[in-house]
Amino acid sequence: MLGISSKKICRLIIFITILLFGIIPPAFSQGVNLNAIEEFRYKGSKEILLRLKMEVENFEEDGLHFLRVQKVNSAIDDTGNSLGWHNGYPNEGQWGRSRYFNFNFQAPSREAISLKKLSAVIEHFTVSKEKNSLLSIENLMQKKEIDFLADLGEETKLILLNFEKLKELRDRPGYKPYIENLHEDLGMGNTLEEATRFVEKLFYFSYEDLESHLFFYKKDPENRIFRLYVFNGEGEKINTGYSYAKEKIVLYLAEAPDENTRLEIMYEHPDAIDKMELNLNNIALP
């Protein structure tokens, strides 16, 4: 056992790590190894953190494969108590592209000497065209006001708006009919009133360099749109940041897009997500 202490912002943190390789035979289940247990103890009322660091064998860390804890079914120590999640470190829902992922629990009492049972569901997300999770939109600037996700279901939409046209028409007779067409032809907004409010909100913000921004309408009730990347004609990624609010996504670019600009959409399609049941027993605690 290795103990390390440090003082930061008037709080003493004692960091205890047990490296399992060579000390305790690593727990193993379907290609997942228990790599280490870490316990963080604090002075004051802050919760003690028990972290189980897991490692997935043969996982490709190439930016096209991701892992997450989809659900913790149970975590019970040898005294029969269930371990709750640590408030500062959520267990579920966050994708990571490392072969390591963590379980973060409120540490059990000192009477407990082992974690009797840990049951969870782990998800593996693969980004590829074959699994319908990678869409490449060539010649992006010629494809405004098209639903890029139309083939994936009616509940999800991603539409590149012609913001310059909307700005030009504002306060002119053609403005309302233009929004009506977006609503009726593309399904932008559940009602015409929603579509109008969405467009009006785009004008609330001041964008200094409109030529280096892309404005999207999105409808994504299940949060399946994972990431968006923009590339220039030389294949260089040029998006530098983004802002979003409900149906709006604005991408900030390092250079103005042109006829060769390409958009890549990473999409959490069910075909691209594999689930694995993880069951570990009798894990020694620090």
Whether 140 and 182 share a structural domain: yes
Whether 278 and 262 share a structural domain: no
CA 20/CA 25 separation, integer angstroms: 7
Tokens of 142: 């010629």
Whether 245 and 141 share a structural domain: yes
Whether 260 and 188 share a structural domain: yes
User: Could you give the 3-state DSSP secondary structure of residue 4?
Assistant: strand
Residue 138 is classified by DSSP as S
CA 115/CA 39 separation, integer angstroms: 13
pLDDT > 60? residue 2 = no
Are the C-beta atoms of residues 227 and 220 closer than 8 Å to each other? no
pLDDT > 70? residue 208 = no
Give residue 37's pLDDT.
87
- Window from 39-43, 64-68, 93-97, 150-154 with minimum mean pLDDT: 39-43
pLDDT > 70? residue 207 = no
- Number of domain units in the chain: 2
Question: pLDDT band at 157, cuts 50/70/90?
Answer: very high
Whether 65 and 145 share a structural domain: no
Tokens of 96: 């990571």
Whether 108 and 194 share a structural domain: no
User: Which residue do the tokens 């609503």 mark?
Assistant: 183
Whether 142 and 225 share a structural domain: yes
Q: Between residues 170 and 25, which one has the greater pLDDT?
A: 170
Whether 94 and 179 share a structural domain: no
Whether 67 and 87 share a structural domain: yes
CA 50/CA 103 separation, integer angstroms: 8
pLDDT digits (tens, 9 = 90+) for 76-134: 999 999 998 887 776 677 899 999 999 999 888 888 999 999 999 999 999 999 999 99
Report yes or no on whether pTM surpasses 0.85: no
Task: Please provide the distance, in angstroms rounded to a whole number, between the alpha carbons at the two ends of the chain.
Answer: 8
Which residue range(s) make up the domain with 81? 2-126+273-284
pLDDT > 80? residue 51 = yes
Whether 116 and 141 share a structural domain: no
Task: Give DSSP secondary structure letters for 81-106.
Answer: PBPPBPTTS--SS--B-SSEEEEEEE
Whether 262 and 279 share a structural domain: no
CA 230/CA 140 separation, integer angstroms: 9
